[in-house]
Every structure is written in structure tokens, then in C-alpha cells.
Amino acid sequence: MNDYVINTKLSEMNSAINGIKADIESIRQIVKPENELWDSSDIIRNWKVSERTLAEWRRRKMIGYVQISKKIYYPREERDKFLQENLKEGGDYES
């Protein structure tokens, strides 16, 4: 291949990469991480609680959730609300 063909191919690749970057940014604006849904396995894994504990929290209406068919999801605002409501303030520590 001569330099012209190589430069043309590189330019095409660069344009394609820039297009992909723009597409990713568009998707990022639609699917914002702050609106991310966690399912039960995410809560269990990230908060290190048992499935039984999580079911008890739902039963006692301690954490809000969305159920679609048999799948349960926890919106970020509900997770944040649960954590805030269960936050224990630390006192002053004197040694």
C-alpha cells in the first residue's frame, strides 16, 4: 500500500472512532448513572446482605423497589433514601 491509501484508511478509521465516541456520549446522556437500577443480586453483592434480609426489608417497607414480572429493581433514589434513613450519626470521640 502506498502512503495515500494508508492515510485515507487512517482518516476513515479516525472518523469512525469519532462517530462511535459521539454515539457513546449520546447514550450516556440518556442512561445516566445516577438513574441506574440495581437488582436484588446487586444489593446483595454490594451491601453484603443476605437474600432473606433484603426480602425482610421489602416486607417491612424499609426500601422501595420496582417489580417487573418476577424481577425486582431498586432505583438509586430508593437506595439513597434507605441509606439516609438508616444512617447512624457518629459522636465525638475523645481518647
| CATH number for the domain that contains residue 67 | 1.10.10
Residue 92: inside a domain, yes or no?
no
Say what the pLDDT of residue 67 is: 92
What is the per-residue pLDDT for 5?
A: 87
> Which pLDDT score is estimated for 25?
80
In DSSP notation, the chain reads: --HHHHHHHHHHHHHHHHHHHHHHHHHHHHS-GGG-EEEHHHHHHHHT--HHHHHHHHHTT-S--EEETTEEEEEHHHHHHHHHHTPPPP-----
13 and 46 fall within a common domain:
no
Q: Please tell me the pTM assigned to this model.
A: 0.59
Instruction: Residue 76: give the domain boundaries.
Output: 34-85
Per-residue pLDDT in tens (0 to 9) along the chain, 95 residues? 788 888 899 999 999 999 898 888 877 666 666 568 899 999 999 999 999 999 999 999 999 999 989 999 999 999 999 999 999 988 766 65
Confidence at residue 34, expressed as pLDDT on a 0 to 100 scale: 59
Residue 26 and residue 3 share a domain: yes
1 and 17: one domain? yes
Assigned domain for 69 exists: yes
State residue 83's pLDDT score. 96
pLDDT at 35: 64
Residue 58 in domain: yes
Q: What is the pLDDT of residue 32?
A: 62
Q: How many domains does the chain have?
A: 2
